[in-house]
Chain A
Amino acid sequence: MSEINNGQSETRVIEAGPPLWLLAEITYACPLHCAYCSNPLNLTDKKDEIGTEEWLRVLSEARDMGAVQLGFSGGEPLLRKDLEQMVAHASELGFYTNLITSGIGMTEKRIAALKDAGLDHIQLSFQAANAEANDLIGNRRHSFAQKLEVAKLIKQYEYPMVLNFCLTAQNIDQIDDVLALATELDADFVELATVQYYGWAYVNRDQLLPSKATLEAAEAKVNAFRDKQNGKGPKFIFVSPDYYEDRPKACMNGWGSTFLTVTPDGSALPCHSAKILPMTFPNVKDKSLQDIWYQDFSFNKFRGYDWMPSPCRDCDEKEKDFGGCRCQAYMLTGDMYQADPVCSKSPHHHTIEAAIESAAKQHDKSVILRDPKNKIDIVTV
């Protein structure tokens, strides 16, 4: 909806529905140091984290606005001792609560307490299907063994279990083992997510990006496995990296349409990568979530279609993909208004082709781990 005043100046009032999905990133601290982490390059200090009371208020405000799915994420959300308190509050409010965890730090005592608090679902990440590769990628010894224990606890306490495997050049050739492990652990859903290049993953892109041939071989194996499942066992969801597509992803289902992320320091973002963009985002310490979602300049900035330059402006697919990802446009072109360069219609599509070529030439696949001692300033082109 747009209102035009006297045909002179245009005031844009864009109708937005409620934020159905709230991602509560309650800490950036993490016992793992995965090189493909999508979190920001400069990590927030623990001392900047907002407190329990503030989180409880944020959850209440989001629920009042109609949010229904709530993800507790990070970093590693188990590192916050008030997690159980937040889950109990969210559950009482009627949220469907998802815990997105590496499993490190989960104990039987905590998983039972979380059940009592009303936690609905646990998503457990694996870095690979065997101890050696898993512990190397996350750079933490014995983490694979701990994850197996946690998977058993999740089933024992009758949570729906989603497993998440991040696929990269380092582990994609082990896809058969991944399929077998997920089946053995009796997962309900399994996300086989090829890494997307944000945060630390962007720094390590040359090392992480699998070749198209490897990717297609992996996907073919997943499809063949699925055909043999006869509707039994885990449901596998294969997510291709957008670098090999010729149309961009409908990022976040459109800016400010469905997703709201609150980061450990209280920043409110339309997606968890948006902080890299050259604009100011509001903080829940200063404003209500209602104000942020409906009124804040940043949330309205890329709503609708009027902000788009060509080729998106005139494209008949703009309502399907919303011009793709603003962060990817910014990282690859230096201009956040541009079409996502994944699109073959983008004048910057060559940056994607160059990245694929560069990764193919990169034979040294050693990576820079996400670690405060490897702290890197925000990288832009």
Chain B
Amino acid sequence: MSQVPKRNRLYKLQFEKAQDSYVLLYPEGMVKLNPSAAEILLQVDGEQSVDDIIIALKTKFPEAPDDIGDDITAFLSDAESKDWIHYV
């Protein structure tokens, strides 16, 4: 997929030591991310396409199963419906 996802500026992504995880912060709220969700969102920079992101994560995690791409696209679609990302 050549679509390029971009993070919604309303949601701030940062690592929280106390939570031992990445979180999304927004007005008066917080979403705690599981490690794979965090890895994907960290790749979303408004420049890489979905395909680029899949390749980048496959390179970073060579031991990951082959169908990791499906998981990534499923997560991105979920993230879009939650308004965390949109496509440029």
User: Residues of A with Cβ closer than 8 Å to B?
Assistant: 18, 20-21, 65-66, 68-69, 71, 94, 96, 98, 120-121, 123, 158, 160, 162, 188-189
Contact = CB atoms under 8 A, between A and B. Distances in A.
Contacts of B28: 21, 69, 71, 98, 121, 123, 162
Interface of B: 9-10, 12, 14, 16-19, 23, 25-30
Nearest to B29: A69
A68 B23 contact: yes
Contacts of A189: 27
Given A68-B23, A69-B29, A71-B28, A120 B18 contact: no
B45 to A, nearest CB: 18
Contacts, number: 44
A66 B30 contact: no
A41 to B, nearest CB: 26
Contact of A120 (B12, B16, B23): B12
Given A65-B18, A68-B18, A94-B14, A20 B27 contact: no
A68 B16 contact: yes
Contact of A121 (B18, B27, B30): B27
B29 to A, nearest CB: 7
Contacts of A65: 18
A204 B60 CA distance: 61
19 contacts: A18-B18, A20-B30, A66-B16, A68-B18, A68-B23, A94-B14, A96-B12, A96-B26, A98-B28, A120-B27, A121-B28, A123-B28, A158-B9, A160-B9, A160-B26, A160-B27, A162-B27, A188-B27, A189-B27
A65 B9 CA distance: 27
Contacts of A21: 28
A69 B18 contact: no
Given A66-B16, A66-B19, A68-B16, A188 B29 contact: no
A20 B19 CA distance: 10
A23 B30 CA distance: 15
A188 B10 contact: yes
Contacts of B9: 158, 160
A95 to B, nearest CB: 9
Contacts of A120: 12, 25, 27
Given A158-B9, A160-B10, A188-B10, A123 B27 contact: yes
A21 B29 CA distance: 9
Contacts of B19: 66, 68
Nearest to A66: B18
Contacts of B30: 20, 68-69, 96
